[in-house]
Structure 1
């Protein structure tokens, strides 16, 4: 194979893959040879930085591994294919990862399946048209991580999912996720410090809906779960924003945001979220 081109290896692999056996060899042995040839072709394509061709050759190898009953090998080969494809053909990379995840689930390997779903979510997140799929993939990964006792990784996935939900303006879903992350964080001294951030994010989502009554009830619930929350900068900021929304006071809202921003700069998705909250105040009819 040393002097054979990637294209020639690929042609030979396809011939072996379609073989039905003969007098001196079985179809299964031909398929095993095809797998080796597909992988050899993929390696040569990778040397030449032809990653799309490499990924497609590995997908063919995985398909043949399934035919020969080697599902464990196929799950890994699909994953290798996805690594080649993710830079050149993200949609095909996602397909390969999904097939890998499905095979891992069939084998009861949920921790590794969760890793694949998380990889899928990261790719979806890069495409503004597929954020909804990214949200679903992060949630599925979080569920599987939780089942495997990887609670910290599950929470990280739920945080990423919550941010996507905010971008999609799916505020009830974002609230559910932030409150879930907060609940999971309360039981550990290592993570309890971050609960105030999660409660603030959830509270702002209530106000972005806008649902002031639910936000008020949520504030009471957060104080029950974490008695120290109302005295934190985040708790006081949320309370002040809630009051400004309740009374329709844009100046008070802007002042609260300015004061908090000086302590803890407001950037990115949280800045966008606060813009949504501000808009809900500005759109309120003046009944005076």
Structure 2
């Protein structure tokens, strides 16, 4: 098979992988083997990448390896993700010998999956170190960074577990008690990104665990967002966020999470502010 034939086969694999991925994201697809379809798409992207390599289309190979790496992260296969990112870096280096992958890999993987994944690995390692030194405060700071980045990668369960753990520890501390509401707020938003019912049940749990949370502006905001979601009322959702933002300015992370939730009500690209 000549290079042209190899590229055609690679392109067909890319299209098939995308199709497989879309079917895994549908309601019934998720219900019936969604994760296995993601793994199959992973394999197809990797095969396509190798076909592009054989055709010496290094840029396309790098992009296909990036796609495979992103999906490996989605199914928590960190080692495979790292391997694919390295493969992508090597391919991009051949495509642009003057560049300096993997440090410039973000130019090709524009969503910053590579650097975000590296940041998670770095902060997890640091957290383990501080735990070993019994420096709980420093370990928690690192874990909160992991939660922030994990949520950005849509690894919501990892983020939720960290926010709940740090929040539970904080509510038992006189000095840290006030910050517990922020962690439970962020955990609830992560739940909301997955499913509205998850968020409602989580909110009830956090209020029972930490009654002071009920009186916080964050808890009241989530309740308004839940009501807006149930009513499929985008305007009410946006108004609730704007009202909150006038007193407590939204940072980039909160804005991202709130936009993700809003898009599940209605596909609306407009800003929340």
Which interval holds the TM-score relative to the shorter structure?
A: 0.5 to 0.7
Q: Quote how far apart the aligned CAs of 1:245 are.
A: 1.7
Taking a change above 3 Å as real, the CA distance of residues 148 and 262 of structure 1, as seen in their structure-2 partners, is same
Cα distance change, pair 184–143 in 1 and its aligned pair in 2 (3 A): farther
Within-5 A mapping of 1:1-288? 129-209=114-194, 211-283=195-267
Q: Are the equivalent residues in 2 in contact too, given 1:141–1:154 (CA < 8 A)?
A: yes
- Contact (CA 8 Å) 2:185, 2:218: kept in 1 or not? yes
SS in 2 for 1:143: helix
Shift of 1:247: 2.5
1:90 is displaced (CA, Å) by 10
Which whole-Å deviations, capped at 9, do the CAs of 1:184-234 have from their partners, x for residues lacking one? 21221111101111111111111112x111111111110121111011111
Residue 269 of structure 1 deviates from its aligned partner by 1.4
Q: Provide the rounded CA distance (Å) in 2 between the counterparts of 1:273 and 1:156.
A: 20
CA distance in structure 2 between the aligned counterparts of 1:246 and 1:139, rounded to whole angstroms: 37
Superposed CA deviations along residues 91-114 of structure 1, whole A, max 9, x for unmatched, are 79xxxxxxxxxxxxxxxxxxxxxx
Distance 2:166 2:230 in 1: 27
Distance 2:121 2:219 in 1: 30
Name the CA distance, whole Å, in 2 between partners of 1:186 and 1:149: 19
Distance in 2 (alpha carbons) for counterparts of 1:283 and 1:205: 19
The answer to whether the 8 A contact 1:178-1:202 is kept is yes
Is the CA contact 2:113–2:153 (under 8 Å) kept in the aligned structure 1?
A: no
Question: Which 5+ residue runs of structure 1 have no aligned equivalent?
Answer: 1-88, 93-126
Aligned-CA RMSD value: 2.2
Aligned residues: 161
